[in-house]
Amino acid sequence: MGNEDTKKENINTFPRKVMNLTRDFLFGKLEEKVKRSGLP
């Protein structure tokens, strides 16, 4: 029973982890562009 519960949790949190990683990656790219363009 416990293993099934953790599997369900992993399936539910995986997309959230991917979204967070993608968002962090995109924000990192945006910050780089802002720094290069010299904006405050």
Q: What is the DSSP letter of 38?
A: T
Question: What pLDDT is stored for residue 35 in this prediction?
Answer: 87
Quote the pTM value: 0.52
- Helix (H) or strand (E) holding 25, with range, is helix 2-37
**Which tokens is 32 given?**
């780089």
* CA–CA dist 17, 37 (Å, integer): 30
Question: What pLDDT is stored for residue 40 in this prediction?
Answer: 61
**Which tokens is 26 given?**
């995109």
Question: What pLDDT is stored for residue 39 in this prediction?
Answer: 64
The pLDDT profile of the chain, 40 residues, written as one tens digit per residue, is 456 667 777 777 888 999 999 999 999 999 998 888 886 6
